[in-house]
Amino acid sequence: MEIYLEKAAVRQIRTSIEEAIEEGDYETLREDLIEAFTDDDIEEIERRIDSGDFFDFITDILDEWSGEDASELFELIEQQLTDVGIDLKFALDDDEEDEEDDLDADDLDDELDFDDPDGDL
């Protein structure tokens, strides 16, 4: 099974992570993480996890997280869901999409390199 988190949800989680790191308060982060998933997603996750409670599932992940790095938290969430047979996909931020587009354009430029003896191209 796959679950997709929308761009807006990922952006909100990143903002909440930054605030949690600065303030040391994880309650808003926990709420934003829970709100990022649809009711159907939560029901499916609860069917697959041992505790059967999504709130406890998120709490356990936050307890395991070092509280220092957003990437680490996303990796923990992804790993915990993978362990119960759910593949989590994150929508890319616009900036990340632009970077990928730039990389693709650079790759294309490299592939199209050819000799121009006159230097006209």
> What distance in Å separates the CA atoms of residue 95 and residue 41, rounded to the nearest whole number?
27
Does the residue 73 lie in any domain? yes
pLDDT at position 120 is 57
Phi/psi of residue 51, nearest 5 degrees: -70, -25
Helix (H) or strand (E) holding 43: helix 39-48
Does the residue 116 lie in any domain? no
Does the residue 6 lie in any domain? yes
Q: Please write the tens of the pLDDT for every residue from 30-77.
A: 999 999 999 999 999 999 998 899 999 999 999 999 988 899 999 999
Residue corresponding to tokens 């499916």:
44
Mean pLDDT confidence for 77-96: 83
Does the residue 41 lie in any domain? yes
| Structure tokens belonging to residue 113 | 């390199």
Does the residue 63 lie in any domain? yes
For 65, the domain range is 2-111
- What pTM does this model have? 0.71
Helix (H) or strand (E) holding 12: helix 7-23
Q: Please write the tens of the pLDDT for every residue from 88-116.
A: 997 765 554 444 444 455 555 454 444 55
What is the number of structural domains in the chain? 1
